[in-house]
Chains A and B, each alone.
Chain A
Amino acid sequence: MNTQFKKGVLELIVLVAVSKKDMYGYELISEVSRVVDINDGTIYPLLKRLTNDKYFETYLVESTGGPPRKYYKLTSLGKEKMHELKSTWDQFNNSVNNFIKEGYNE
């Protein structure tokens, strides 16, 4: 699949994943890789960007036997963004599905 397209979808997936519960880096990577096969390295830059855009907030939690973990939490702005992306995705998904269905029925 086109990587840029993947990245666009990835943004939505990450937002949805964090909306369920606050997550730290590794947790998010394992969660996302369940859905899309993507390079681990690309997720962090995305998190960084979403944090810089104020869609995420971060906070540190001490972990047992290791450095403190940085948790990502969805902000209200992030929630809005998520809904927005979701509706775009639905629209896109629907129109593509309809198009394919029409093609198959003929």
Chain B
Amino acid sequence: MNKSKFLNKLKKKLEILNDEELNDIINEYESIIDEKVKHGKSEEEAISEFGDVSTLAKEILEAYKLNAKKVDEDDFLDSLDSTIKKGAKKLSEYTKDVVNEAEKEEITIDMIFEIIIKAIVILILLMIPFSILRSILTAFTSMAVPSNFFGNFIVSIIGGFMSLLFLALLILVIYLIIKDTTTKGSIKKSIKKRIENEVEEEIEEEIEKEIKKEMKKEKEQIKEDKIVAKKSEQNSFTTIMLTILKVILILHAIPMVFSLAFLYVVLAFSIYLLFKGVSIIGIILLIISSIIITTFILQLIFKLVKTNFRPKKVGFSSLITAFVIFLIGIFFTIDFIGSIEFVNESPIDELSYSTFTQNYVVDDNIGNLLTRQSSNYSVFIDSEMNDNVLTLEVTYSDDFLNIKEVSVSDGYIIVHSTERMKLINLFNLFVDNLKEEKIYNYTKVFDYEINLFVNQETLNSIVIEEN
């Protein structure tokens, strides 16, 4: 450490002194260092001989304090006496520190019960307007959107979002109660502490008067020990309660983390759709607002857990922003859903169908195939067909179905097929349809149509035979 560094450090530590005094001290130390250097010591050496800066500063400050207290410090023995007094005072200050340390855990059992009861009341109170708001919103949206799969989806999204908002508000309110209760508690505590301090000071004065009577000091010691013991006993119970609360909160946080992850995945997917040309701004906004609220809840939970239920600040703004985004999102979504046409047909273009054809020579298995009324197949008369031969033609989508064989058994047409789950095809189809603001019945992609071709003679002979 060089001279200026040392002097600066010292200056900082002695800041409480007035400028004149401070400059005087600094000048003195500077001149002592200079003098030492003049007598052949290095600057470092000269400074190291002063010892630790903090200790030095403390001693200097003590010189002022002693001056202020100088009343009965008349002789050498008295100064020894004052040392003992100081030691006793230090000891009592130390125990006071221990007590204060213990008191930092400001939450007590009463407070926890108070918080729980308040929280239950708030829960009930909040539930009423929320369930009303929720039914109004869902009723409104179910009127606004068509009642189909997508419409129901939107209605359920709104319901879920309202629950999320409710949860966020609930946690926020509980948080505010906790904060309120603990600050009130700490004010009470500080008043109590002040009284304790006053009492302690009185005791200290007495001790100073009768410093040599060790008995009193011991009594004080025992008393403080008792306070510490009592405090720690209460604290351990509080700690257990707080730990239980924390565990509950963390358990709630786990599914939230998963839903947050899920929401992000959905968001990514929706943005992908947006780039593909589907205008789902509204849904994206809904997802974003849900993400904000979920994040808010998670943050609140972790803040509460991390700071032992005494977080410093929580912003409402994100909650309000989320709600505004949600409302805009609902508007766009309803608009989007309203413009979508739901077609209860297969989404596959007629031109892209393939046909599978197989001839069947009429045998005993024909049964009542041609006379039975069925929507399963259609019969066409084709004069160019050979006698006693049926042509079975299956129209299907090559993308989703693989047909191996068509046979007739006991009056029924059996189609041996396997489904080809080409999800990417289905998805592309869906996206293309959405761009045209149409939604088809996607379960129908595996459907097929059967046509029977037969000449009039054969048909007649079979029908007559049947009769």
A residues near B (Cβ < 8 Å) are 4-5, 7-8, 11-12, 24-26, 29, 39-42, 44-46, 48-49, 52-53, 66-67, 69-70, 84-85, 88-89, 92
Contact = CB atoms under 8 A, between A and B. Distances in A.
Contact of A85 (B31, B32, B56, B75): B75
B294 to A, nearest CB: 60
B80 A5 contact: yes
Contacts of A42: 51, 56, 59
A67 B64 contact: no
27 contacts: A5-B80, A8-B79, A11-B79, A12-B76, A25-B32, A26-B35, A26-B36, A26-B39, A39-B51, A40-B49, A40-B50, A41-B49, A41-B51, A42-B59, A44-B32, A45-B59, A49-B64, A49-B67, A52-B63, A52-B67, A66-B34, A66-B35, A67-B27, A69-B31, A70-B31, A92-B76, A92-B77
B76 A49 contact: no
B50 A39 contact: yes
Given A8-B76, A40-B50, A67-B27, A45 B32 contact: no
B32 A29 contact: yes
Contacts, number: 83
A12 B80 CA distance: 13
8 shortest A-B CB distances, which residue pairs? A26-B35, A41-B50, A49-B63, A41-B56, A45-B63, A4-B83, A52-B67, A88-B76
Interface SS of chain B = helix
Interface of B: 25, 27-32, 34-36, 38-39, 49-51, 55-56, 59-60, 62-64, 66-67, 70, 74-77, 79-80, 83
Given A42-B56, A67-B27, 9 more contacts: A8-B80, A26-B36, A39-B51, A48-B63, A49-B64, A49-B67, A66-B35, A67-B31, A89-B76
